[in-house]
């Protein structure tokens, strides 16, 4: 295969990956709960979600809302779905009522479920035990030669002899 053919294949793979990402975003957008959500209720869920993510050993860095909204953003929904998947696999009998959220009352129920997970010792234990290992290889320490392998340092006599 030529370099040009490999470059074409790589471009095609990136285009297909981008299409898949776009399809996923559209699907999440369609699945996103819709309703009338106030900023304070949304921010209560954000705080609870960030706390649960941190309990799972993940960054709880979702930004608060500045205004009311009519749908949960796809990034927030992606995080909530990840938490719900972990909850489903865990020994804790708590599920996030994401699909039922249509108003501030539904957001309060979602917040309550997140708080239960955050405070649940069995859930925290489950997610920390099943967290993927850090696959970042540790840098190797430089190997220093053993003292017996180190050549003798030249002496002044050696240099005085003109070598």
What is residue 111's predicted lDDT score, i.e. its pLDDT?
Answer: 97
Cα 81 from Cα 128, distance rounded (Å): 18
Measured CA to CA in angstroms, residue 2 lies from 7, 13, 16 at distances of 9, 17, 21
Considering the domain architecture, whether residues 74 and 21 belong to the same structural domain is answered as: no
pLDDT in tens, 72-92: 998 999 999 999 999 999 999
Residues 9 and 67 in one domain: no
Question: Looking at the domain assignment, is residue 116 inside a domain?
Answer: yes
52 in any annotated domain: yes
**How many C-beta atoms surround the C-beta of residue 136 within 10 A?**
6
Give per-residue pLDDT as tens, 90-111.
999 999 999 899 999 999 999 9
Q: What is the pLDDT of residue 20?
A: 56
Which of the pair, 162 or 34, is modelled with greater confidence?
Answer: 34
In a domain, 135, yes or no: no
Number of domains composing the chain: 2
The percent of residues in the chain predicted with pLDDT above 90, rounded, is 53
Residue 140 lies in a domain: no
Is residue 148 assigned to a domain?
Answer: no
Determine, yes or no, domain membership for 27. yes
CA distance linking residue 57 with residue 128, whole number of Å? 7
Residue 155 falls within a domain, yes or no? Answer: no
Interval 136-155 mean pLDDT: 56
Q: Are residues 16 and 92 in the same domain?
A: no
Taking only Cα atoms into account, the Rg of the chain, rounded to an integer number of angstroms, comes to: 28
Residue 95 near residue 84 (C-beta atoms within 8 A):
yes
Whether residue 26 is predicted with pLDDT greater than 50 in this model: the reply is no
107 within a domain of the structure (yes/no):
yes
Confidence band for 3, pLDDT divided at 50, 70 and 90: confident
Tell me the C-alpha distance between 52 and 98, whole Å: 15
Rounded to the nearest 5°, which phi and psi values hold at 70?
-110, -5
Q: Same domain, yes or no, for 22 and 38?
A: no
**pLDDT score recorded for residue 33:** 81
Which pLDDT band, with edges at 50, 70 and 90, does 129 fall under? Answer: confident
Q: Using the predicted structure, report yes or no on whether residue 126 has a pLDDT greater than 80.
A: yes
The answer to whether residues 112 and 80 belong to one domain is: yes
Beta-carbon contacts of residue 158 (< 8 Å; ≥ 6 apart): none
Query: What confidence score (pLDDT) does residue 138 get?
Result: 56
Interval 53-70: pLDDT, tens: 999 999 999 999 999 999
> φ, ψ for residue 152 (rounded to 5)?
-60, 140
What's the confidence (pLDDT) of residue 1? 74
Q: What is the mean pLDDT of the chain?
A: 80
d(CA 38, CA 53) in angstroms, rounded, equals 22
pTM for this predicted structure: 0.64
Residues 22, 41, 83: CA angle, nearest 5 degrees: 50
Are both 24 and 46 inside the same structural domain?
Answer: no
Domain with 22 in it: 1-31
Claim to verify: residue 18 and residue 39 sit in the same structural domain: no
């Amino acid at each position: 295969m030529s370099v040009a053919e490999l470059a074409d294949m790589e471009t095609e793979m990136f285009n297909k990956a981008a299409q898949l990402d776009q399809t996923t975003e559209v699907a999440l957008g369609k699945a996103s709960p819709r309703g009338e959500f106030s900023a304070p209720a949304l921010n209560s869920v954000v705080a609870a979600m960030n706390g649960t993510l941190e309990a799972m050993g993940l960054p709880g860095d979702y930004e608060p809302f500045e205004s009311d909204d009519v749908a949960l953003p796809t990034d927030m929904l992606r995080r909530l779905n990840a938490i719900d998947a972990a909850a489903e696999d865990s020994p804790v009998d708590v599920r996030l009522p994401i699909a039922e959220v249509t108003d501030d009352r539904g957001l309060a129920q979602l917040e309550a479920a997140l708080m239960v997970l955050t405070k649940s010792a069995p859930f925290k234990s489950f997610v920390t035990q099943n967290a993927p290992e850090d696959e970042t290889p540790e840098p190797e320490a430089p190997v220093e030669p053993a003292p017996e392998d180190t050549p003798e340092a030249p002496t002044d006599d050696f240099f005085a002899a003109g070598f």
